[in-house]
């Protein structure tokens, strides 16, 4: 296995093939990799931030990964926000519910859809936030909340879905 600086250099090289291979190998560096990737999240280069999120998604350090992925949902780049939401689909964590719920209103439709997918994968714990979004969210957020509630296939979601059907919008 390559050393951490070599893997970080490959991850940020601009060569997608090298970066993908490096992302897979970074898991062997544990906490040190997590710290290095956290630093990359502050890069001015969108591609570097995207690859940092992509690599974080590979790590098995739930609390630290979730915290960083939630922060990446606020990135100025829609591509980074999409990647963070997709990563949270692979790390469904109830701690991410508030940030994912906010992302349902993202101006980027793909980021909003991926956030809804992540909320669905979190499961019934996301139900209260989705119901609240259905009642008070933006039109986009409401639409994604309906989609997530339907996908949850959880009987307590039915009253909220029926109430939504009765609204003119």
pLDDT digit string (tens) for 54-67?
999 998 876 788 99
pTM of the model: 0.91
The pLDDT-based confidence of 169 (bands split at 50, 70, 90) is low
Q: What is the mean pLDDT of residues 140-157?
A: 88
How far apart are alpha carbons 167 and 169 in whole angstroms? 6
pLDDT greater than 80 at residue 165: no
What is the biggest distance separating any 2 CA atoms in the chain, rounded to whole angstroms?
A: 59
Q: What is the pLDDT of residue 60?
A: 83
Structure tokens given for 156: 């307590």
As a whole number of angstroms, the distance between CA 92 and CA 53 comes to 15
| Interval 121-137: pLDDT, tens | 999 999 999 999 988 89
């Amino acid at each position: 296995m390559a050393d951490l600086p070599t893997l970080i250099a490959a991850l940020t090289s601009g060569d997608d093939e090298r970066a993908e291979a490096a992302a897979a190998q970074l898991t062997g560096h544990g906490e040190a990799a997590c710290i290095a990737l956290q630093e990359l999240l502050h890069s001015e280069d969108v591609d570097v931030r995207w690859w940092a999120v992509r690599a974080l998604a590979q790590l098995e350090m739930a609390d630290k990964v979730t915290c960083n992925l939630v922060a990446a949902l606020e990135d100025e780049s829609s591509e980074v926000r999409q990647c963070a939401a997709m990563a949270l689909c692979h790390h469904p964590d109830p701690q991410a519910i508030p940030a994912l719920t906010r992302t349902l209103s993202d101006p980027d439709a793909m980021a909003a859809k991926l956030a809804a997918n992540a909320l669905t994968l979190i499961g019934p714990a996301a139900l209260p936030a989705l119901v609240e979004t259905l009642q008070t969210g933006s039109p986009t957020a409401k639409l994604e909340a309906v989609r997530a509630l339907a996908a949850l296939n959880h009987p307590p979601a039915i009253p909220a879905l029926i109430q939504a059907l009765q609204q003119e919008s």
